[in-house]
Amino acid sequence: MKSYNDERPDGLQRLGDGALGLIAVILVSAATAVAQSAPASISTIPQPTSDRPFFDASGNAYYLSGQPTAGAAQTQHGGGTCSIPGYHGIPIPASCPDASVMKVDPSGNQIWGTLLGGPTADSGTALAIDANGNVAFTGSTGGQFPTTPGAAIGSSTSATVFAAKVTADGSKFLYSTYLPESLAASSAIAVDAAGNAYIAGKTSSGHASIVKLSADGSTIVYNATLAGSSADAVTAIAVDSAGNAFVAGQTTSVDFPVTAGAFQQHLKGSQNGFLVKLSPSGSVLASTYFGGSGSDSPSSIAVDGAGNIDVVGSTSSLDLPTTQGTMRPSAIVPPWNNSSPAGFVAQFAPDGSSLKWASYVMSSDYQPFGAVFDMGVSALGVAPTGDIYIGGLTGPGFPVTPSAPVVCFQGLTNRTNGFLAHLNSSGALVDATYLGNSAGGDIIVGGSLLPLPGGTVLISWRGTPIGVVSRVQFGSGGWTAPACLSNDVLNAATQSGSGGIAPGELVTLTGFGIGPDIGVVYQPDAQGNVPTQLAGVQVLFDGVPVPVLYAQSRQINAIAPVGLAVNGTRHVTVTYNNQQFGPAVATATFGSPGIFRLQIGQSAQAVAMNQDGTLNGPTNPAPRGSIVAVWGTGYGQTNPPCQTGGLNVPRAAPLSPGISAQIYKVGPNGGPSLPTPVQYAGSAPTLPCGLVQVDFQVPVDIAPGTFSFLAWIQFQDEITWTQSQPPIGATIAVK
């Protein structure tokens, strides 16, 4: 290892020649393909709202929004005046909102719509369609709710949740009733074959609550509470053909009521999921935790024809109880995620207490600065064959199959795309496709996926600014998608293109058929230069060839020009086998930093060196107050600059004047908290031009364990300063 201590006051050694191979390996993320002669297809139907839909068996969509139509059960607003936030948060008077239901046909046309509400604020939260096409729904009310004769609870001054059922043509309420005041909020509803409704949510004291309501709305069949000593809440509910209810939710209680012989007897993390089976009379037949040492939350649940219970959701646990032979049995932390695998899918046996199989799903944990986005797997549907379809948000590198109608990522400036994946009844991947558009479409949370006969799947997502429903058909009989280049240019460390491309940045291009099937890593010439053509692949920025580090059918790594002008957009094309792909479009910027990770896809642990020259990691943490070095790209030029495709200058060279590197501790909301001192940011001698080293001090006041940090940079001239886009985090281990 070569030392640069004479140029460095902190005495920290730099990575030696072996690091070049380490970085090269990190840049290569293996891609797998599952081959599937009917072509794939996708058609998109605009919807009258961007709200989440609920589908019936015929493909009609139902929304908890919309305007009333003539002849509807309630066509006029319930009246009343409510206060809503106005300018600068000052409340202003406005008409109180009503709950509403709208039915939309498979072509996107509204069939009917009705209101339901009184002179206070009312809103719907969930709905379900019974065997006769009637719509049962639930929601919250501020009081004076319009109930129907014979309602289970016709009047109340303290109840805050209602349930109602409207006829299939929207013309009449079959019932409208308050629910017991013990149910403070409803989150899910299901109906059984007899038309009974099962409404789930939580109590005012923060515990899971399930109410069963008779088919005519006249009787509370049972009112069950599932309570531990901490917070418990139901997030999804399903019913089997025998009238057993399966309730999925999340809990932080160490004493949540599990049953003997349950799959998981104890809480393992800060929050685990749970699955409870209730008899038709409301008694607990089975109850189990499900989760790992992080935080886990189910989002949707379904029962297949054999009685198996399928559950999907989000997870931050790296030790979720998964099984071999499934889509992804080992934990995966995509480089565009901050720290978690994000998604899971699991199947339990009909007894409700034994796990049949479980898998991770590469999906997004993107929630910048506390904003609410869909995380993990958010949509679930089960075909009559027992095959499973799941949807959510994901990023580049998702295992899309050649049978996909959209095989290339379409993120552009958005970090994520929707996905739809088809698994067999054992949890193995059969088909997968991206879904969405470059304007930032994404999957809507839960209840928005329906497998139809013949293999067609309906799935909804938010467009810009409307909602859409897509009819997706995967290719069959050996059909393979045509070659394509994804339209995003990604930071090679984070695999994200949301921050733009900086001069000299190591970048990743993704696609399908854009290089050789077996990946090829470049070999430097005698001067250490990177070639501008590799295995027949060329990458061009605005028509000018750039160095290529790695080439494979689904991924190319290259180096942006050091002299890249930091204004406007750049067009990036790929040539391979006499075919040109693209262009992908990138916004040029002064900086878009990303930190390389040690084991890409396995954890957020950065490639980091402790002050004593050893590799940082969980078994070799850094002392608090010591200096740690990490390596990244996207920091712009150094002073003096290096040559595109060559090596960094053989000495410490700081970032260009006006550019400063910053390291922030990750705060509770996922954004930057306290800064930590940066000792050095600049060239990484012996490594390719574009790789940067950042040395920072480990905070002295943090707890031992994992230190999550964000790498930012800012540019300042004589007049203004500009900060880079919100970064993707990484971690180091601290003693």
Geometric angle at alpha carbon 13, from 8 and 17, rounded to 5°: 125
What does the radius of gyration of the chain's CA atoms come to, in whole angstroms?
28
Provide the CB-side half-sphere exposure for 698 (13 A, CA). 27
Which residues, including other chains, have CB under 8 Å from residue 478's CB and lie 6 or more apart? 35, 36, 37
Burial bucket for residue 44 (CB in 10 Å: 0-12, 13-18, 19+): middle
Which residue, 398, 400, 468, 403, is CA-closest to 440? 468
Specify the pLDDT at position 503: 94
Query: Is the pLDDT score of 622 beyond 70?
Result: yes
Mark residue 325 as left, alpha or beta (left: phi above 0; alpha: psi -120 to 50; beta: remaining): left
Angle at the Cα of 410 from the Cα atoms of 407 and 415, rounded to 5 degrees: 125
Alpha helical stretches, state H, 359-499 = none
What is the model's pLDDT at position 3?
34
Mean per-residue pLDDT over the chain, rounded: 90
Burial annotation 294-318 (CB, 10 A radius, 16+ → b, else e): bbbbbbbbbbbeebbbbbbbbbbbb
Contact 459, 436 (CB under 8 A): no
Q: Where are the beta strands (DSSP E) in 105-178?
A: 110-116, 122-129, 135-141, 161-166, 173-178
What is the pLDDT confidence band of residue 412, given thresholds at 50, 70 and 90? low
Task: Show the tokens assigned to 353.
Answer: 């207490």
Amino acid at 85: P
d(C-alpha 697, C-alpha 734), whole Å: 11
Distances (CA, A) of 731 to 132, 623, 711: 54, 14, 11
Residues 6+ apart with CB under 8 A from 223: 180, 182, 183, 209, 210, 211, 212, 282
Answer for the pair 629, 4: CB distance below 8 angstroms, yes or no: no
- In this model, does residue 661 exceed pLDDT 50? yes
CB atoms within 10 A of CB 131: 11
Identify the helix (H) or strand (E) that includes residue 694.
strand 691-697
- pLDDT given for residue 444 in this prediction: 63
Residue 548's nearest CA partner among 526, 570, 512, 519 is 519
Q: Give backbone dihedrals phi and psi of 334, rounded to 5 degrees, phi first.
A: -60, 150
SS in 3 state form for 450-466? EECHHHCEEEEEECCCC
> For residue 326, what are the CA distances in angstroms to 273, 317, 398, 611?
20, 17, 15, 41
The pLDDT value given to residue 21: 45
pLDDT per residue as tens digits for the range 671-705: 778 889 999 999 998 899 999 999 999 999 999 99
Q: Give the up-direction half-sphere exposure of residue 307: CA atoms within 13 A in the CB hemisphere.
A: 11
Token pair in block for residue 42: 């996708």
What is the residue type of 560?
A
Q: Which runs of consecutive H residues, i.e. helices, occur in 477-635?
A: none
Mean pLDDT of 476-504: 92
Q: With pLDDT > 90 as the criterion, what percentage of the chain qualifies?
A: 76
Average pLDDT over every residue of 396-425: 88
Nearest to 119 by CA among 158, 162, 76: 76
Which domains are seen in the chain, by residue range? 5-27+593-734 (2.60.40), 485-587 (2.60.40)
Lowest mean pLDDT among 70-74, 440-444, 585-589: 440-444
523-545 pLDDT, tens digit per residue, is: 999 999 999 999 999 999 999 99
Question: Residues 431, 437, 440, 444: is their CA dihedral positive or negative?
Answer: negative
DSSP bridge pairs for 290: 273
Spacing of C-alpha 628 from chain mean position: 31
Provide the 10 A C-beta neighbour count for residue 273: 30
Q: Is 139 a residue whose pLDDT tops 60?
A: yes
CA within 13 Å, CB half, 515: 28
Peptide linkage before 583 cis (omega within 30 of 0): yes
pLDDT (average), residues 353-376 = 77
Report d(CA 91, CA 179) in Å as an integer.
30
Task: Please report the pLDDT score of residue 109 as a whole number.
Answer: 97
Looking at residues 103-121, what average pLDDT do you find?
97
- Which helix (H) or strand (E) element contains residue 521? strand 520-521
Residue in this structure with the two tokens 């349950």, named with its chain if needed: 262
Give the model's pLDDT for residue 566. Answer: 86
Residue 383's Cα: distance from chain center in Å?
Answer: 23
Of 79, 223, 99, 120, the closest CA to residue 173 belongs to: 99
Three-state SS at 129: strand
Q: Give 548's strand partners.
A: 558
Euclidean distance between CA atoms 448 and 91, whole angstroms: 34
Q: Is the peptide bond before 53 cis (omega within 30 degrees of 0)?
A: no
Measuring CA to CA, which residue among 193, 128, 199, 112 is closest to residue 159?
Answer: 199
Peptide bond into 465 cis (omega under 30): yes
Question: Which amino acid appears at position 590 of this protein?
Answer: F
Interval 472-479 mean pLDDT: 95
Instruction: Tell me the pLDDT tens digit for each residue of 277-307.
Output: 999 999 999 999 999 999 999 999 999 999 9
- pLDDT, mean of residues 627-650: 94
Q: How many residues are present in the chain?
A: 735
Give the pair of three-digit tokens for residue 472. Answer: 């997706």
Distance (Å, whole) CA 695 – CA 590: 20
Contact between 683 and 692 (Cβ < 8 Å): yes
Instruction: Tell me the C-alpha to C-alpha distance, in Å, between residue 587 and each of 547, 572, 596, 689.
Output: 19, 11, 21, 21
CB atoms within 10 A of CB 507: 30
HSE of 600, CA atoms in CB hemisphere, 13 A: 20
Residue 182 has pLDDT above 80, yes or no: yes
Of 339, 394, 336, 325, residue with least CA distance to 362 = 394
Per-residue model confidence as pLDDT tens digits over 702-732: 999 999 999 988 887 655 566 666 678 899 9
pLDDT tens track for 5-60: 333 333 333 333 444 444 544 454 433 334 438 999 999 999 999 899 999 999 99
Q: 218 is written with which tokens?
A: 């006249």
pLDDT value for 441: 54
